[in-house]
Amino acid sequence: MGDSGLKILSLNVKGLNTPQKRRLLLRELKRSACHIALIQETHFASSRQFSLRNKAFPVTYMASSPQKKKGVATLIHSSCPFKIHLEVSDPAGRYLMLVGQIASTTLTLFNIYAPNGYDPDFWTEISSLLTTKADGRVIFGGDFNAVPQPSLDRKASGDSSGTPSGYPQDASLESFMLDHSLVDAWRLHHPGDRDFTFFSNPHHSYSRIDLFLVSLSTMPLIPTSSIGDITWSDHAPISMTLSIPSYTPAWSWRLNSSLLHKPEHILELQQQLRDYFLENDSPTLSPTTLWLAHKTVIRGHLIQLGSRLKKQKLASLVSLTKDLSKWETLNKLSPSDALT
């Protein structure tokens, strides 16, 4: 399926009821180049759900509660042919299950926003769905409000050794994983490492509560799993790559109309057109061939222009991200008010 594979991202957004937050999310998804996005805490009421669809993500599934709290959404990129056979959405907005097919692979995808505290009934409900409705390879993604290994996955201010005993919800998650033979995808690639996805300001503590859990049969298909930086949300995005046999994401070039918004770009394009027709207009070349070929030349120029502008923009973004990562790492090592 190509070197990039199918990228799945998960992020707790802590509310999407403002246009600004929705724009930030869609910008994040575009920058991440993900094919499937699992979003938690949309805070949409079931009676009024804002659309998250755009050209890049035309397919969305949601589970919302009656009140403006909780809520999950799964967004599928236009290049990802995930054919859904079954959808199960929680009326309380805690989970969304999709069963479908990508190429020849059957996949069950759970989007989870687990209760913030001990709630065995929740895990009993998820277990029932898993045993009666799931099919094929299984992937859980989301905010579990619990960690698999407290000694590695929790850290309080001034604490260098984690929280060995953990919390009751940690024990519930561990039991759920053992009962269903689920594996922590990030830990699979980072054994012994410590990194975190959520910082609690009131408690000055870090935790890795955002997770991908996968069935044993799915493990060989996951070459990478990573944790991003905490930026506009109070959670870090997490992502993993899924290598599905005989699947290649579709791609087609489209003109980025913003390239034509600046006069200097239009002048550059006009010069390219003049040069092309001056250099290639010949009695031996038919007008039809000349016209058709110019489209390829101009498209190549526009791709180069877009790539150049993207590199300039990314250079600035990378510099800011490096600074953010540096301070975030320092704060993870030793949480302090000065850095938060």
Q: pLDDT, tens digit, for every residue of 13-70? A: 999 999 999 999 999 999 999 999 999 999 999 998 899 999 999 999 999 999 999 9
Annotated binding site: 12, 41, 143, 145, 234-235
> Residue 180, class by beta-carbon neighbours within 10 Å (0-12 exposed, 13-18 middle, 19+ buried)?
middle
Annotated binding site for Mg(2+): 12, 41, 143, 145, 234-235
Q: How far is CA 148 from CA 13, 165, 208, 284, 298, in A?
A: 22, 12, 9, 71, 53
**143 classed as catalytic:** yes
pLDDT tens digits, 202-240: 888 899 999 999 999 999 899 999 999 999 999 999 999
- In angstroms, the CA 287 to CA 283 distance is 9
At residue 149, the pLDDT reads: 94
**113 classed as catalytic:** yes
Residue ranges of the chain whose pLDDT lies below 70: 1-4, 157-165, 248-253, 284-285, 289, 292-293, 296, 314, 317-318, 321, 335-340
> Using an 8 Å Cβ cutoff, are 11 and 39 in contact?
yes
CATH number of 6-242: 3.60.10.10
Q: Which of 143, 170, 184, 210 is catalytic?
A: 143
Count CB atoms within 10 A of the CB of residue 237.
24
Q: Is 93 left (phi over 0), alpha (psi -120 to 50) or beta?
A: left
Q: Which of 35, 43, 77, 235 is catalytic?
A: 235
**206 classed as catalytic:** no
Q: What stretch(es) of the chain map to CATH 3.60.10.10?
A: 6-242
Q: Which of 95, 113, 206, 247 is catalytic?
A: 113
Q: What are phi and psi of 225, to 5 degrees?
A: -150, 135
Give me the torsion for CA of 104, 102, 34, 62, rounded to 10°. Answer: -160
